[in-house]
Amino acid sequence: MKILVSIARFLVGITFLFSGFVKLVDPLGSAYKFQEYFSPEVLNMEFLSPYALPFSIVLIIIEIMLGVMILIGFKSKLTAWGLLGIMLVFLFLTWYSAYYDKVQDCGCFGDALKLSSWNTFYKNIILVALVILLVVRSYDICPILGQTTEKWVTLASLFTFLFITYYVLIHLPIIDFRPFAIGNSIPKGMEYTDQAEYPPIKDFFLESETADLTPQLMKEEKLLLVIAYNLDKSDKEGFANLKPILTKAKENGYKIYGVSSSVKEEFDALNKEHGLDFEVLFCDGTALKTVIRSNPGLITISKGIVMDKRSWIDADDLIIE
């Protein structure tokens, strides 16, 4: 039985570590997923939407810390019960998503690994069974470190994870699992294949008031997009920081466009206020959230390939060649 407990402990710990880490490097992605769950079409708990980000951060930290704690055997009984509690929440959400066909991707592994709703639910059933074994046989979970060392490892892990969360919220995800990652081809990501029902990139269109400019702009050798998925939620201070890098880009022959889901007049007013002087294009807000997590953010593209992307705070670091 101790061998089974050890196997369960390892499988659960590694799963929680992986699942927690891929969300830790991109907590905004999890926040957007919770907003989807809170929407009227799913759980009808829209009053929780403003708290989606802190809720996602807390849940991510709990998830990854439980993974660390079960692996090192720290507070085994408390950790096992914590694992059971959070797994029951995940089990309900994934069952609800699958049964009612509400959320196509639960976001359990962030953007790193996509599973169907039912496959995610079945995966969680297996994890719940393993966690129940850990709860029942928690006395068989032997610590792998000394008691003092375990406390320091747990504390150090907590502060490390909190720092990573802070860093990626201020800047951008340290690992980008999305189809708009640096080096990826946007046109290729928009192509349909026989293996997938939908391409990795969908609903990404750069539209002027009269035409869809996406095919034309994906052929440009030097293209810079200033992306703000929603001006009402964007950091207005960010636009004030953009002028130096946009001036440099213009001098280097870049075509520069602002892209937003907000009405053109709002972006034009902001453009004029900060003297940014670029044309504004329209794109779906959800698609823009996928392109870049910063609001506003910058992305450079050469012949459809993503060359660089930065949050407005790091605008001066954008590679302009």
Domain boundary among 170, 195, 217: 170
How many Cβ atoms are within 10 Å of 254's Cβ, its own excluded?
21
pLDDT in tens, the chain (321 residues): 888 999 999 999 999 999 999 999 999 998 988 888 888 888 888 888 899 999 999 999 999 999 999 999 999 999 999 999 999 998 998 898 888 877 767 667 767 777 788 888 899 999 999 999 999 999 889 888 888 899 999 999 999 999 999 999 999 999 999 999 999 999 999 988 766 677 889 889 999 988 999 999 999 999 999 999 988 888 878 888 898 999 999 999 999 999 999 887 887 788 778 888 788 899 999 999 999 999 999 999 999 999 999 999 999 999 998
Q: Is residue 236 part of a domain?
A: yes
User: Are the C-beta atoms of residues 55 and 142 closer than 8 Å to each other?
Assistant: no
Residues 116 and 230 in one domain: no
Q: Is residue 147 part of a domain?
A: yes
Looking at the DSSP bridge assignments, the partners of residue 212 are 207
Residues 7 and 146 in one domain: yes
Residues 60 and 198 in one domain: no
User: Are the C-beta atoms of residues 42 and 103 closer than 8 Å to each other?
Assistant: yes
User: Are the C-beta atoms of residues 285 and 230 closer than 8 Å to each other?
Assistant: yes
Q: Pull the structure tokens for residue 225.
A: 């997009």
CATH number for position 218: 3.40.30.10
Query: How many independent structural domains does the chain possess?
Result: 2
Residues of the domain holding 300: 186-317
Q: Is residue 178 part of a domain?
A: no
Domain boundary among 137, 170, 203: 170
Whether this model's pTM surpasses 0.85: yes
Domain boundary among 170, 205, 238: 170
Cβ contacts of 111 within 8 Å, gap of 6 or more: 22, 26, 29, 177, 178
Q: Which run of H or of E encompasses 305?
A: strand 305-311
Residues 140 and 244 in one domain: no
Measured CA angle at 136 (ends 133, 141), to 5 deg: 80
Residues 36 and 151 in one domain: yes
Q: Is residue 177 part of a domain?
A: no
Measured CA angle at 132 (ends 131, 138), to 5 deg: 80
Residues 219 and 163 in one domain: no
Residues 222 and 289 in one domain: yes
Q: How far is CA 174 from CA 26, 27, 96, 223, 293, in A?
A: 8, 11, 32, 23, 12
User: Are the C-beta atoms of residues 264 and 280 closer than 8 Å to each other?
Assistant: yes
Alpha-carbon span 230 to 249, nearest angstrom: 24
Residues 150 and 122 in one domain: yes
Q: Is residue 101 part of a domain?
A: yes
Q: Is residue 68 part of a domain?
A: yes
Strands (E), 173-304: 223-228, 255-260, 279-282, 297-302
Residues 123 and 190 in one domain: no
Q: Is residue 179 part of a domain?
A: no
Residues 23 and 93 in one domain: yes
Residues 214 and 95 in one domain: no
Residues 220 and 128 in one domain: no
User: Are the C-beta atoms of residues 68 and 124 closer than 8 Å to each other?
Assistant: no
Q: Is residue 36 part of a domain?
A: yes
Phi, psi values for residue 177, rounded to 5°: -95, 0
